[in-house]
Amino acid sequence: LSDRLSGVFDRLTKQGALSEDDVKTALREVRIALLEADVSLPVARDLIKAVQEKASGQSVTKSVTPGQQVVKIVHDELVHVLQGDGDPGALKIDNPPAPILMVGLQGSGKTTTTAKLAKRLKDREGKKVLMASLDVNRPAAMEQLQILGAQIGVDTLPIVKGEDPVQIAKRAKTAAAMGGYDVYILDTAGRLHIDAELIAQAAAVRDVAQPRETLLVVDGLTGQDAVNVATEFDDKIGVTGVVLTRMDGDGRGGAALSMRAVTGKPIRFVGLGEKLDAIEEFHAERVAGRILGMGDIVSLVEKAQQTIEADQAERMMKRFQKGRFNMNDMRMQLDQMLKMGGMEGMMGMMPGMKKAAKQVEESGMDDSVLKRQIALINSMTKTERANPQLLQASRKKRIAAGSGLEVRELNQLIKMHRQMADMMKKMGKGGMLKQAMKGMF
Ligand code: GDP
Ligand code: MG
C-alpha cells in the first residue's frame, strides 16, 4: 500500500498549485488505503469529501510535492477526526472510591487492561486501587485477575464462589469504601458476541456501581465489527471511552477511526502488548500514520524541512549527479541521519522501512554506529576525505587508531560509502536522484 502512495507521489511531482486532477488522483488512492485499513465506507466517504474541499486550489509548498501535500491534508483530517477533546488518558477518579467499569467482548483484553490501568494509577498517581472480577462465566477468570494483582501489587476483592456479578459489584463497592481505596475497577465477563444476557448483566452492574468511567475494551485487530460492538455497547450501557488493544499487532487502526466517527466516543488508551506496562494514552497522530500505511511520512517531510536547508540539499544534489560523493558528503549524510532521530527514527518514518528498521535493531546498528562512523571520518585527513580511494592499509590503521576504533569498522564504512556513491551515480544518470531528493526534502 505504501508502494501505491509512493506511486502517487511519483506521478505528482510537478510543482505549482494543487489542481483538481492532482487532488482527485491522490484521493482515489487514499480512499483505497482507508478501506484497506478497515475504515468503514461512509466514514471514508465523509473524510474524502472534507479533504477535497480543503485541498482544492491550495498552493503547493515549494519543498513538497502535490501528492505529499494531499496526503498531509488527509493525515491532518484523520488526526482531527481521531482526536478527542482534552487529555485522553485522564480518568475521572475524584470522589473516592471512584468506580471504573470495564466492558467488552470475550478475549478483547478487559482483564489485562484492568490490571494495566490499575498499575498505571498506582505507579503514576499513587492511587490505592482495588480490582474485582465479575466474570462468573469463565472458569479461572477470577483467579486470573488475582494473579495479575499479585504481580503488580494491587489488591483484588477476595473471591467468593456462588455470587452473581451484581452481588460482587455491591461487595466491591463496600470493600472499596471501607478500605479507603481511591479507585475500584470492575472487570466484567464478556461473550464471543453481543447478546441480550451480556448486555442485561452489564446494565445491572452499571446501575449498582454507577461508574465514573465505563471503558469499552475493543480488540484493535477486529476491524469493522468493532464499530458495531461499540455502537451496541454505547446504546445499551453508555460508555465514556474506548480502549483499543493489540495495537502492537498488524492491525491498521481503521476501526479506531470508524469507531470514533460513528460513536463520537473518545479513544482513551491503546494496548501495546501482553506485559502489564504495555499501555499508553491514545495518540491520534500515530494511528493516523498507521491508517495511511506510510509510517510517519508526514513528520518525515516536516522534519526534513526543518533540518536541511534547501540550498544545501540543492548543492549536494548537483555534486551527486556528477558522481561526486566523498567522505565529507558521507559525514553530512550521517549527521543528517542523527539529527532526524537516528537510524531507527528515520527508518521507522519511511514507508516500507519498518522491516529494515527491525533488522537494523537486531544487527545492533544504531545511533552509536552513526557516531562511530562520524568519528572515523573525523580522523581522516582533508585529502583522504575528498579522495576515499586513497584509503589503503597503512592509512586505515592510522585512522582506526586515531579514532580508537577497529579497522574492521572502517572497512564497513568504506564499503557503505562505495555503495552509496554507486547508487548516487546511477540515480544521477537517470534523473532519478532529483526526484528522490525532492521526495525526501
Ligand atoms: P478478556 O477476556 O477481555 O478479559 O481478555 P484478557 O485480558 O484475558 O486478554 C486475552 C488475551 O489477549 C491475553 O492473552 C492477553 O495477554 C492478550 N492481550 C490483551 N491486551 C493485549 C495487547 O494490547 N496486546 C497483545 N499483544 N495482547 C493483549
Ligand atoms: Mg477477562
> What residues does each domain of the chain span?
2-82, 98-284, 297-440
The predicted structure's pLDDT at residue 196: 85
381 a known binding residue? no
Cα(270)–Cα(259) distance, rounded to whole angstroms?
Answer: 14
The predicted structure's pLDDT at residue 64: 57
126 a known binding residue? no
- CATH superfamily of domain region 297-440: Signal recognition particle, SRP54 subunit, M-domain (1.10.260.30)
Selected from 1.20.120.140, 3.40.50.150, 3.60.21.10, 3.40.50.720, the CATH number assigned to the domain covering 2-82 reads 1.20.120.140
Contact between residue 319 and residue 113 where contact means Cβ atoms under 8 Å apart: no
**Which residue would you say has higher pLDDT here, 365 or 44?**
44
Is a pLDDT exceeding 50 seen at residue 439? no
Cα(312)–Cα(333) distance, rounded to whole angstroms?
Answer: 12
Mean pLDDT of 240-255: 83
Look at 66-80, 82-96, 211-225, 239-253 and tell me which has the smallest mean pLDDT.
Answer: 66-80
Unique residue bearing C-alpha cell 481521531? 82
Is ipTM strictly over 0.95?
yes
109 a known binding residue? yes
- Pick the residue whose CA is nearest to atom 12 on ligand 1: 109
212, containing H or E segment: none
Q: Which residues contact 101 (CB under 8 A, 6 or more apart)?
A: 185, 186, 188, 202, 205, 206, 209, 211, 213, 214, 215
pTM above threshold 0.90: no
The predicted structure's pLDDT at residue 13: 43
- Pick the residue whose CA is nearest to atom 26 on ligand 1: 273
Most confident of 330-344, 398-412, 417-431: 398-412
- 2-82 and 297-440 in the same fold: no
Is a pLDDT exceeding 70 seen at residue 354? no
Nearest Cα to 77, choosing from 156, 23, 129? 23
Which atom of ligand 1 is closest in space to residue 105's alpha carbon? 3
Which atom of ligand 1 is closest in space to residue 270's alpha carbon? 23
Domain 98-284 carries which CATH code? 3.40.50.300
- Pick the residue whose CA is nearest to atom 2 on ligand 1: 107
Nearest ligand atom owner, CA of 107: 1
Is a pLDDT exceeding 50 seen at residue 14? no
Which atom of ligand 1 is closest in space to residue 116's alpha carbon? 20
Nearest ligand atom owner, CA of 110: 1
Residue 358's pLDDT band, with cuts at 50, 70 and 90, is low
Nearest ligand atom owner, CA of 218: 1
pLDDT tens digits for range 100-134: 999 998 899 999 999 999 999 999 999 999 999 99
- Pick the residue whose CA is nearest to atom 6 on ligand 1: 109
